[in-house]
Structure 1
Amino acid sequence: MITTIIFDLGAVLIDWNPHYMYRTIFSDEEEMKNFLATITTSDWNEEQDAGRPLAEGTEILVKQFPEHEENIRAFYGRWEEMLGNALHDTVELFKELKESGKYKTYALTNWSAETFPVALERFEFLHWFDGIVVSGAEKMRKPAPEFYQLLLDRHNVKAEEALFIDDNYRNILAAEKLGIQSIHFTGADVLREKLSELNIL
């Protein structure tokens, strides 16, 4: 029986996208996409999500690509401009789950400890969770199994009683290997259908 719902945050409950900020810098869309794909890459950003200080990560890239220094420094210097709105349809689902009183709810997120306070201040619904485990604060991130296990142990959650929701299929596979039932998030409507099929909503 499911007693606990574990949410990812980015692209599930919160819209975060570097394009929002970098479109104010680049006039050419393809040039912007190339910069994000080859310089400020997802792999590089995930190192900060895993606890590397933002300043250190920035300096590493500036040394590698000095010709792009200004645009590299903008990544964290103007990070708040990448943070979009709440994904309201999913937040509404979260609210329904919370108000049902049937489930404990937690967040397991790959997020820098230095930028997460911005989200905490901006999004009231983050305070509805029974607990949030932030990768940057723990110095580990999804899909590492020990990161999932940390949440389970800290909050006394049994893997077989948890349901995990994430937009990244890599993270879904890692959760399932630990015996955590999971839903690959592709949109709020599909999530609602799957929760209904499981008699959770």
Structure 2
Amino acid sequence: MTIHAVIFDFGGVLFDWSPHHLYRKLISDDHERQWFLDNICTQAWNTEQDAGRSLAEGTRSLIEQHPQHEHLIQAYYDRWHEMLPGPLSDGVAILEALHQADVPLFGLTNWSAETFPYARANYPFLRCFRDIVVSGELKLIKPDAAIYHASLRQVRAHLPDIQPEEVVFIDDVAGNIEAAMALGWQGIHHVSAQRTAARLRELGVGF
């Protein structure tokens, strides 16, 4: 088996994204902040925007449900960039080493189409990718099989003869890796950069 392309997830692998980075500034009490993020501005709600719903509609509908939290809900996307303080340097180091070794690199991320341009504009390492599938642009979301099919089509636009087993996908969410492997891809559940780098080398990826 030979790996001919590496596909990266972004959040938790290359980007240190977390609502806590913003809401620590807005809700000082740890338990109160966690309750708010577990019950009001939840990950499931954010995922709806990653799947293509507009930020304005997502914000409006949540404020209608919880008007007493309007200012905190409004802050989520008004100050979204404060949730993204910077890259995860050890993950980016793997990406850049693979790029230097001329390994074909692609992205597959659950990310709002409206906020992703901020990342493109502010993080030059994204230029290492030949192409990127952004869930909000396609209105598909991991772990739906359809977004993996879309990603493979994108890879084949650059590498026409590549087969699923010649692709390795790196993601910090185990369920997303399981979905990729169910389609015949190789998968690496990212828990540390050291383990991911070691697994890439086990798969024969030289860098």
Normalising by structure 1, what TM-score? 0.97
Superposed displacement of residue 112, structure 1: 0.2
CA RMSD between the two structures: 0.9
Question: How do residues 1-201 of structure 1 correspond to structure 2 at under 5 angstroms?
Answer: 1-101=2-102, 103-156=103-156, 157-201=162-206
Segment of structure 1 superposing worse, 131-140 or 154-163: 154-163
In structure 1, runs of 5+ residues without a counterpart are none
Preserved CA contact (<8 Å) 2:171 2:190: yes
Distance 1:27 1:94 in 2: 36
Superposed displacement of residue 160, structure 1: 1.3
Q: Percent identity?
A: 47
Distance 1:179 1:84 in 2: 35
**Aligned amino acid, residue 133 of structure 1:** V
Normalising by structure 2, what TM-score? 0.94
Superposed displacement of residue 41, structure 1: 0.7
- The C-alpha deviation readout for 1:17-47, integer Å capped at 9, x for no partner, is 1111101111101100100001111111000
Superposed displacement of residue 158, structure 1: 2.3
Preserved CA contact (<8 Å) 2:6 2:105: yes
Point out the structure with the larger strand share.
1
Distance 1:147 1:196 in 2: 26
Superposed displacement of residue 131, structure 1: 0.3
Superposed displacement of residue 57, structure 1: 0.3
Secondary structure at 2:53's aligned position in 1?
coil
Distance 2:132 2:198 in 1: 25
Secondary structure at 1:76's aligned position in 2?
helix
